[in-house]
Chains A and B, each alone.
Chain A
Amino acid sequence: MDTTVENKYTFKDFASDQEVRWCPGCDDYVILRAMQKALPEIGVKKEDIVFISGIGCSSRFPYYMDTYGMHSIHGRAPAIATGTKLANPNLSVWVITGDGDSMAIGGNHFIHALRRNVDLNILLFNNEIYGLTKGQFSPTSLVGQKTKSSPYGNTQPPFSAGELAIGAQARFFARIGGNTPKEMTQIFIEAEKFKGTSLIEVMQNCPIFNDGCFDQFTDKAVRADKQLFVEHGKPMIFGKDRNQGLVLNGLKLEVVAIGENNITEEDILVHDAKEQDPTLHQMLVRLDYPKVMGVIRSFNDITLEERKDAQTQEVKSNSKFRKTDDLFFSGDIYEVE
C-alpha cells in the first residue's frame, strides 16, 4: 500500500497543541524540530506515523508530535513498537528512547529489536546521564564521572551505543551531534527510508546535569576538526581545511594529513556503509578522534515482517483451513446420537 503523499505538510503540521516542557537550552528542542522538519520531506501520511517512547526526558517526545503516539513504560518501547509494526506493517513506527531507557532497564528489548530487524526507527537520545530522575550516572556515563549517585566518581565502565548495537546485529547505525539540526534532519530521512531497524544515536547535551559533556567534539569552534561526517561512497576526509583523512594501518584506523608524506585523497578510505561485514563500522564507532558522525552502517537485509509475511502467505496457500470451522471439525471427531 502506498502511504506516501506529495509534500503537502510543513513542520507545523506535526506540532501538537501541547506546550513543550523540556529545560531551556536542551538539545531535545533541536531534535524535535529536526523531526518535524524531516517528516514533511519523508512524506508519510500523518495518520500512518506512530511514535512510541519509554520513560525519561526524551520519552515525552510523542506528546509534542501531532501523530499517533504512546508514552509507555520504562525500557519497553522497542517491544511495544515491534508489536505495533507486526500488527500493521504499513505504519511508520519510531521509537524514542534515552541511554538509560534503552541500555539499562530496556537493554534486552533494545538488542533483540536490533537482532530481529523489524522496520523500526529507534531514536536514541544519549546524554550520558539520568535527567528525569535528576542526575544519576547512566550506562553511558564515563568512569570517574561525578553524579548524584556517584559522588566520588562513577566506577562502572560505559557502553558505547554503536558498539552494542552492531554487536547485536544492527543493520543501520547513525550518529549525530545534538547541535547540528540540518545533518540530523537528513539522517532521520535516511533512517526512515531504510527497511529494517535503524538506530540513530544523538549525542544530546543535558544543560542541567551533564552540561558540556560532548563539547570537545560538538562545540562549533572545534566541530570541523574533531568530527568526521561519513557518507556512503565518499572518502573519509575531515577538518576545517578538509585536509585530514582516515587510512587503515594494519588493524587500526589512522589519521593522516593529505598532502604530507605523499598522501593524496586517493589514499583515503572510502566509506562503504552497505558492507555486510561490520568490522570497519565497529572501528569507526570506536574512534575517539575524530568522532565519527553520519550513517556509519546501512546494510540492506530482509526484515522480520517480510520473513513472517512470506511464511504466512505460504502456509495460507497450502492450508486446507480457511475458517475455524474447518479446523474444529477436522481430525478425530465423533458423533453422539
Chain B
Amino acid sequence: MATTEIKHQPEVLEAVIIRFVGDSGDGMQLTGTQFSDTSAMFGNDIATFPNYPAEIRAPQGSLYGVSGFQVHIGSVEISTPGDEVDLLVAMNPAGLKTNLHAVKPGHTIIVDTDAFTKKNLEKAQYDSNPLEDGSLENYRVIEVTMTSLTKEALKDVEGLDNKSITRSKNMFALGMVYWMYDRSTDHTIAFFKNKFKTKPQLIEANTKVLNTGYYFAETLELIPNSYTVAPAKMESGTYRIIMGNTATAWGFLAASEKCGLDLFLGSYPITPASDILHELAKHKHFGVKTFQAEDEIAGITSAIGASFAGNLAITTTSGPGLALKGEALGLAMMIEMPLVVVNVQRGGPSTGLPTKTEQSDLLQTLYGRNGESPVIVLAASTPSNCFDFAYEAAKLTIEHMTPVVLLSDGYIANGSAPWKIKSVSDMPDINNNIIHKAKENWHPYDRNEKTLARDWAIPGTPGLEHRVGGLEKDRISGNVSYVPDNHEYMVNIRAEKIMRVQNSIPELTTAFSDEGDLLVIGWGGTYGSLYSTVKHIKEEGFNTIGFAHFNYINPLPKNTAEVLKRFKKIVVCELNNGQFAKVLKLNFNDFNILQFNKIQGLPFGNEELVQKFKQLVK
C-alpha cells in the first residue's frame, strides 16, 4: 500500500480540525466518517460533528443545501469537534461561502475548481469568483480540478455511469487528506469491499479515485508540507467509534440483557431520534421488539402496554414528539410503571430546527404535563456516555417503578467518539420489583420501604389480578379513590419517590477546582465544550475556576447546594434561554446564578466561552 512509500517529513501536530463541505448529495458525511474512523484506529482521540440540512437533497449548489462534517483529531484529549478549522475541503462555491468564516486565517482550503462554474457561483450568490478576486488572500488555497481528475482516473473502468463517476469525487478529496495527515487508506478500501460486495466495479472505481487523490497530493507541489497527529494517550483497552444514538440504543440492549426482560421500543420516526429506532430494529436476534407506531402517542402508549406486560419498554422522540407524549407520560407516572422516554433534543419551538442542536426541552421535560407529575430526568453528555445513561435510565426506571426521561441532543446523538467497549458483565446489577407469587393480603400499591417503588405484578401471574389506571388510586388497595386526604397523600408519595432516587445516584463532582471565584455549570451535551474551555483557561493560569456538569437533573444530586456554596460566582451555560438556571434558582435561592446562553442551533464555541469566563473572573 501507498503508505510505505511516504518520503516526506511530516510536521507533528497535537490536534487538527478538518471540515468537509459540499452539496447534500456529495457524500460529505461518508467522507468525514471514513476519515474519523481511520484516525481513531490509528489511535487518535476524536470528536465529530455532522451538520446537514433538513432537506434530503436540497437544490444542487444552493447555500442552504450545504452538508458538512467536521472532525477533530488529536494526540491529546479531544472533547469537542472544535470551532475554527485547520483545513476546509469545499466541493462547491456554496460550501466555501457558508464555511469560510470557520477557517483559521492562514490555514488551508482545498477546492474543486471544476465546481466553480458561473452557474454554481450564482447559486452561491457570489458576485465574482472568490478564487480569482483576491478574497481568499489570507488563506492557503489548494485548487484542484477534482471532477476532471476523477473522470480521467475512471475512464477505463467498465460498467460505470456518469453519475457514479462524478459521485466518487469525494473519495479523491479523502485520498488527498489521507496523504496530508499521514493516514493509511486501508480501512476505507476494506469498507468499499464490504459495502459494494455485489458491485465489483464500484470497489474498483472508488479505490482508484481514493488512490489517485492520495498520489495526487503526494506529487503536488502546491502542498508544501504534510502533517501528522500522533496517537493519543488513552486508557488501554478495546475501543470502537460510536455515535451517540447508537450508544443509546446499545445501552438499552445491555440493560435488557442484564435485567432479563425483553426490550420493547414503541416509536414514531422523528429527526434526530430515528437512528435509535433504526439501530434497535436490527437486533431481533436479541429478542428486541420494535414497533413503528402510527404516531408519537401510539409510540409511548404501546410502550406502556408492553411495560404492563413485563417488558423493558422505551419510546424515543424529539421535542415536538415529547409534547404529544405528555398525557401518556403522565399515565405511566400515575400507574407507576417502568418506562424510558428518550428525547433527542433539537432546535425548537414548534418544528424549529430539526437537524440542529438545542437544549430547550428541559422545562417541557420537567413540567410539561398536567397535574403534579414528576419524573426522573437524566441527561447524557457525550456520544459514548449515551450508553451509560441509557443503561442508567433503564436501571432507575425498573428499580424505582416510575418513568425516566433521558435527554440527549442532536449534537451528541449524531456526533461520534471513541468508546472503550463495555461488556454487560461489567455493568451494575439491575434489581426489579417483580412479584412472582400471590401473597396473603397483597395490594397493588404495596411499596418498597426504602425506594417507595410499588410491586410490579405482571399479567400472567396467578392470584395478582388487579386494575391500574389514570384515576387517582387508594393508597393501599389501588382502587379508584376521590378521598381528599388520599389524593394529597398520593401526590406527595409520588414526589417523595422521585426524591429518594437521590440515594441511588452519585454526588456532583467538580473538575479543576473545588472552590474559588467561578463555578462553570453545564448539563447534557455541552460537556465537551465547557470542559475543554475550562481546561484551556486553567492551563493559562486561571486557577480559581471550577467546573460542574449535571447528568442528573431530577432529582438533583444531594450535595448540589454544597458545591454551589464553595464559589463566589456561578454561571450556568446552556443552549437555551436559561432553563437549567431557572431550575437551580427554584431549588436554591441563596445563590446569585448568572447565565450564558446561546440559541443558534449550534454548540458552544470555545472562543466565546473563554471570553465570557475571563470576563467573569476579572
Residues of A within 8 A of B (CB): 16, 18, 45-50, 52, 62-63, 65-73, 76, 79-88, 90-91, 108-109, 112, 308, 311-312, 315-316, 319, 321-325, 327-329, 331-337
Contacts and interface: CB of A to CB of B under 8 A. Distances in A.
A63 B301 contact: no
A65 B466 CA distance: 9
Given A71-B470, A312-B287, A316-B284, A79 B421 contact: no
A70 B335 contact: yes
A85 B309 CA distance: 8
Interface in B227-246: 231, 234-241
Contact of A87 (B43, B236, B262, B286): B262
29 contacts: A62-B467, A63-B469, A70-B335, A73-B301, A73-B331, A80-B304, A82-B302, A83-B302, A83-B303, A83-B305, A84-B305, A84-B306, A86-B291, A87-B309, A88-B310, A90-B460, A108-B295, A109-B297, A308-B289, A324-B253, A325-B424, A327-B283, A327-B286, A329-B423, A333-B240, A334-B238, A334-B240, A336-B43, A336-B236
Contacts of B480: 18, 63
Contact of B467 (A16, A90, A327): A16
A15 B187 CA distance: 67
A47 B464 contact: yes
Nearest to B43: A336
B285 A79 contact: no
A86 B305 CA distance: 9
B287 to A, nearest CB: 7
Interface in B454-487: 459-471, 479-480
Interface residues of B, number: 70
A336 B239 contact: yes
Interface of B: 37, 40-41, 43, 187, 231, 234-241, 250, 253-254, 257, 262, 264, 266, 283-287, 289, 291, 293-295, 297-298, 301-311, 313, 327-328, 331, 335, 420-425, 459-471, 479-480
A327 B249 CA distance: 12
Given A62-B467, A70-B468, A71-B471, A331 B240 contact: yes
B235 to A, nearest CB: 7
A69 B457 CA distance: 11
A17 to B, nearest CB: 8
Given A47-B459, A87-B264, A337-B236, A324 B250 contact: yes
Given A83-B291, A91-B309, A336-B237, A47 B463 contact: yes
A312 B288 CA distance: 9
A76 B257 contact: no
Given A109-B298, A321-B283, A333-B240, A328 B421 contact: yes
A328 B423 CA distance: 8
Contact of A70 (B238, B286, B308, B327): B308
Contacts of A66: 465
Given A70-B308, A87-B309, A316-B285, A79 B302 contact: yes
Q: 8 closest Cβ contacts across the A-B interface?
A: A83-B305, A71-B469, A83-B302, A319-B285, A87-B309, A80-B305, A79-B298, A87-B306
Contacts of B295: 108
A71 B470 CA distance: 6
B466 A322 contact: no
Nearest to B423: A325
A144 B302 CA distance: 37
Contacts of B291: 82-83, 86
B601 to A, nearest CB: 31
Contacts of A81: 305
Given A73-B331, A324-B286, 14 more contacts: A69-B466, A70-B468, A76-B297, A83-B308, A83-B313, A87-B311, A87-B313, A112-B294, A312-B287, A332-B187, A333-B240, A334-B43, A334-B238, A337-B236
Contacts of A108: 294-295, 298
